[in-house]
Amino acid sequence: MSLVQPRPISAPDLQLWLQGDAPSPQVVDVREAQELMMAKFPNDVLHLPLSASSEWIETLQSRLAPDQPVVVLCHAGVRSHHFGLWLLDQAWGLEVWNLEGGIDAWSTQVDDTVPRY
């Protein structure tokens, strides 16, 4: 198990960050395509479905800005947490955050127009 963990962030805190003056994080959504169709995150995301990792893993480092924090999200925060651990294990020097509760928490705590599933 990795000693370094993704930093947890709540849905309301992420909303404040995205709407604030500080530079916005890069949001990485690891859900499957059908999940995005059901409940889209309202900001731009880098969509990296975990089931298709063989398609993007070789180019991932070049797609992530080293000086921009990364917030990972999924449905409930579990898959994104594991992906965040993997990102940190790559030792690319990224600042990695995990959206606690995932898109479901976003729906219940920030924007109830985002469907729950």
So which residues are the catalytic ones?
74
Bridge partners, 71 (sequence order): 27, 97
Please name the residue that has the structure tokens 């995932």: 102
Give CA–CA dist 3/35, Å, rounded: 30
Are 24 and 14 within 8 A, CB to CB?
no
Find all residues with CB under 8 Å of 49, minimum gap 6, and list them: 30, 31, 32, 33
Closest CA to 107 of 15, 1, 6, 2: 15
